[in-house]
Structure 1
């Protein structure tokens, strides 16, 4: 259902080693395949890219090991299907091999007007909102998802994020 809104998402991670280290080679070996899968997924609108076909060369923070991923989807169901019901899922399950646990929020979702694109700064601000105030209509997670502006409904608890299961 077209609403005039699209779902933006950001996720960040701190690599356990520099990009040239064999310890993270598996992540970089999967990147083009997973990005192509996202690009071809139903409901995909846009993803952040730097000088290459991904965003790994961008430096969103002073820490050179922090990577940022951002994308826009037609709705939460399309993003959820890509993240949890495609070949992306087993690759994401290996995250602990390549990324250190984050102390704060590492993923945020928020609604944007259809046809607009989010900035990295806006995405980082959404992570801060979740850290500071918890999920809200301005920045939320899959677990506490909010409907698009103007649509009725309360937050939707879809399912726990597998990366958080068992973590304090």
Structure 2
């Protein structure tokens, strides 16, 4: 049995009765999410693009790399290209897939598709959503790592995407 308790934009809160692998039947509530994209982008300067974005959920400015929710039936690479341009004003010629993240598997089915974007060109098509307040910055990889160590950056998707790019030797 499945019941949608609430829907908002592309998200829904669903209660359902499920059977666990042990055979135990239980009730579980899941936030259904269409998926998201996360982009670590290297500017022409060699530095990485970072957003300083006001996040109303925590009522503070938050340092993170570009990311966004996929639109209905949108392929992840298409969403990544759209989000990079909307949030930073850049497009990229070279895209490298870095895998996926499941950030909140205990209560949400969101899968984040990670990308490394290079060969950027400024398009001036910065079109943040009405509810987004974003400042774009360029920072070195060393600065990014230092800010993570200092807890100036606490965003999990930023930390994980940077880690995957470093482990692959894409940046240094």
TM-score class normalised by the smaller sequence: under 0.3
Larger Rg, first or second structure (1 or 2): 2
Q: TM-score, normalised by structure 2?
A: 0.27
| Higher-helix-fraction structure | 1
| Higher-strand-fraction structure | 2
Higher normalized contact order (CA 8 Å, seq sep 6+, divided by chain length): 1
